Every structure is written in C-alpha cells, then in structure tokens.
C-alpha cells in the first residue's frame, strides 16, 4: 500500500492546507504510487528475463573457456570466485554467515550433489559435446527431481509426471540415439550431462527437505566454497597450473562474464525471484534457458541447429510444461487467483 509522504501529512494536519493546496499535493502523490506499483509488478518479469538470458549465454561461454582451460581448474576458479563474491554480498547485506553446530554437515552433504557433482559432470559433459545439446540435457533436471521427490519428500508420482518423464527421455533419445548406434562415438558427453542433471535434482530435493535456519545466500556461498576444496585439491594434483597470460581475449571475456553473471548475479536473481513469485512460477520462467543455450551456441560457436535439435528441444520443453506449467495453472484456478 502506497502512503502519503510524511512531510505532506504534517503539512495537511495542524497547518491546515487549503483545498487547492491539498489537491495540488494529491495528484503527484497518486502518480508516484502508480509508478511504484507498476515497477513492483515488472520486477520479477525483468529478473526472469535477465536470468534466462545470462544463464542461457553461459553455455557457449563455458565451451569457449574449456577450449583453453582444463576442467578441474575451470571449476575450481568458478567455485572460489563465485563463492567469495556471494559470501561478501551476504556479509555486507547483514546476513549471518557463520555456521552453527550441525549446519556444516548439512551444507556439505547438499553441496556435494547440488554444486560439486553438478559442476564437475557438467564441465566434462560440455567439453565432450556441443554446448547447445548439453544445455538441453541439463534442463531435464525438473523431471528427475519429480522422481527423487517422491521417496524423499513424499510427493506422489502422477500419470502426468510419468508422461513428462517419457517425453524427456524421448528428447534424450533423439539427441544421443545415433551415437549409441555408432560404437566408435561413445556418448560420454551426454552421459556426463545426464549425471549432472540427476545430481542437481537430488541436491535440489535435499535442500528442500531440510528446514534451514541459515540465510539462503550464505547457504549457497558455503556450498560453493566447500565444494571448491576437493575440486581445487584434485586440480593441484592432476593438472598443471593455468597461465592466465596465455589465455586468448575470448576466454578472458568469457571468464569475466561467468564470474559476474552466472556465478553471482544469476544466483542472487533466482533467489530474489523466488521471494517475489511462487516457486512453481519461478521454475516455469527458467524453461527458456535451454532455448537460449541452443541458439546462442549456434550464433556464437556456429553449432548446427537441425531437425534433431529442434525436435529434442520441443520434447523436453513439452515435458517440463506438462510437469510444471499445467499443475500450476490448475492450482491457480482452484484457488481463484488471477
């Protein structure tokens, strides 16, 4: 509710403004309220649009970086810098960042699925297959989350969910079916991306299962930083140190982009949208990310977009709409919300 500014309320009280003066103040105040209301209603829409764009462009960016940087060092740097940025933002925002007894094990356990396994598997996956295809497989995550949520959260597996899962698997089959038939081209990239989507789904459900007292931004920061420890250790033991001076300008630009947007802004924007919209609506808003991933990879990297990619994309999006969009619309109608 928009209220009259304090200075106007005082002036119209004991001072006794005339009718003309009151009307002169009332018009700009009314316009100010309307502008605030319009801006508030547009905020989640703009955030979702920015989120979809920046996370979609993340896929060709990762492909560019992995052409000159090893997988383990790429993810180690992402986790360290991304976690550091988010932790700084959380601390400067006045959030609690210190872990209480019992929180460390929970954060580490959830992070091992939602962050660590996702980061490693997706990096290997995108290094072995086209970025556009990788993004399609990655965003089958809601389908796997539906199955994982049944035993952990007690959510029922309905006929609609099973149909959505069948559509999602059909989409994967369109993408990797030919590779499965040709033994010389083992689909390791698709397997890694599938593992990434499944572990992300498990991590998502585990986070929902726990009643967190730790602020969300601090929680995500700790998951990133704790996941950075084993990744950095493996990078130190198995791979040579990267030499930033040898990186090309496209790689440097992609690194800066990923640090500032997918690893920091997008994390904040997603949790902001969750606070402004119902969670189901926020999830529906991410359906455009694989679309942007496919076509941005086509524009930036020249990856082909043929009938197989378009069909797979339609099948996966149809599955997600069937599982997420239709139940959300039915719930809104049942509750009588506009």
pLDDT digits (tens, 9 = 90+) for 321-335: 887 777 767 777 777
Q: Is residue 23, in this structure, part of any structural domain at all?
A: no
Check: CB of residue 86 under 8 Å from CB of residue 221.
Answer: yes
- Over residues 138-142, the mean pLDDT reads 80
Q: Is residue 7, in this structure, part of any structural domain at all?
A: no
Q: Is residue 36, in this structure, part of any structural domain at all?
A: no
pLDDT band (50, 70, 90) for residue 253:
very high
Q: Which of 65-79, 180-194, 215-229 has the lowest mean pLDDT?
A: 180-194
Tell me the whole-structure pTM to 2 decimals. 0.74
Range of the domain at 268: 52-331
Of 123 and 35, the one with more pLDDT: 123
Check: CB of residue 282 under 8 Å from CB of residue 273.
Answer: yes
**pLDDT recorded at residue 252:** 95
Q: How many domains does the chain have?
A: 1
- Which tokens in the block code for residue 9? 């309320």
Q: Is residue 46, in this structure, part of any structural domain at all?
A: no
Q: Is residue 14, in this structure, part of any structural domain at all?
A: no
Q: Please say if the pLDDT value at position 238 is more than 60.
A: yes
- Over residues 161-182, the mean pLDDT reads 73
- CA-angle at 108, arms to 102 and 110, nearest 5°: 105
pLDDT band (50, 70, 90) for residue 142:
confident
Q: What is the mean pLDDT of the chain?
A: 79
**CA 107 to mean position of chain CA atoms:** 18
Q: Is residue 148, in this structure, part of any structural domain at all?
A: yes
What are the C-alpha distances in Å from 192 to residues 21, 68, 121, 180, 331? Answer: 69, 20, 5, 14, 35
Nearest to 128 by CA among 216, 207, 194: 194
Of 43 and 130, the one with more pLDDT: 130
- Over residues 241-248, the mean pLDDT reads 92
Q: Please say if the pLDDT value at position 248 is more than 90.
A: yes
**pLDDT recorded at residue 282:** 60
Taking the C-alpha atoms of residue 264 and residue 228, their distance in angstroms, rounded to an integer, is 15
Residue 111, H or E segment: helix 103-111
Q: Is residue 96, in this structure, part of any structural domain at all?
A: yes
Q: Is residue 162, in this structure, part of any structural domain at all?
A: yes
pLDDT band (50, 70, 90) for residue 10:
very low
**What letter does residue 330 receive in the DSSP assignment?**
H
């Amino acid at each position: 509710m928009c209220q009259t500014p304090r200075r106007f309320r005082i002036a119209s009280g004991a001072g006794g403004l005339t009718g003309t003066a009151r009307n002169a103040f009332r018009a700009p105040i009314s316009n100010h309220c309307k502008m605030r209301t319009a801006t508030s209603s547009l905020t989640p829409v703009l955030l979702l649009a920015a989120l979809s764009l920046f996370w979609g462009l993340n896929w060709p960016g990762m492909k560019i970086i992995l052409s000159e940087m090893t997988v383990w060092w790429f993810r180690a740097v992402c986790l360290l810098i991304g976690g550091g940025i988010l932790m700084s933002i959380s601390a400067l925002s006045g959030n609690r960042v210190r872990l209480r007894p019992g929180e460390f094990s929970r954060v580490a356990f959830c992070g091992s699925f939602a962050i660590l396994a996702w980061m490693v598997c997706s990096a290997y996956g995108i290094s072995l297959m086209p970025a556009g295809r990788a993004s399609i497989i990655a965003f089958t995550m809601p389908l796997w989350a539906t199955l994982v949520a049944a035993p952990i959260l007690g959510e029922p597996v309905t006929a609609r969910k099973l149909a959505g899962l069948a559509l999602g698997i059909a989409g994967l089959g369109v993408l990797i079916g030919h590779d499965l038939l040709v033994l010389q081209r083992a689909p390791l990239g698709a397997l890694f991306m599938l593992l990434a989507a499944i572990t992300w789904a498990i991590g998502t459900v585990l986070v929902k299962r726990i009643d967190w007292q730790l602020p969300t931004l601090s929680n995500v920061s700790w998951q990133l930083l704790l996941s950075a420890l084993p990744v950095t250790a493996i990078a130190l033991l198995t791979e040579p140190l990267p030499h930033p001076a040898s990186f090309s300008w496209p790689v440097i630009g992609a690194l800066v982009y990923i640090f500032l947007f997918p690893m920091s802004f997008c994390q904040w924007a997603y949790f902001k949208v969750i606070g402004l919209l119902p969670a189901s609506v926020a999830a529906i808003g991410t359906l455009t990310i694989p679309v942007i991933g496919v076509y941005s990879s086509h524009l930036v990297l020249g990856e082909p977009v043929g009938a197989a990619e378009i069909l797979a994309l339609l099948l996966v999006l149809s599955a997600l709409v069937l599982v997420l969009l239709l139940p959300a619309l039915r719930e809104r109608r049942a509750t009588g919300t506009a």
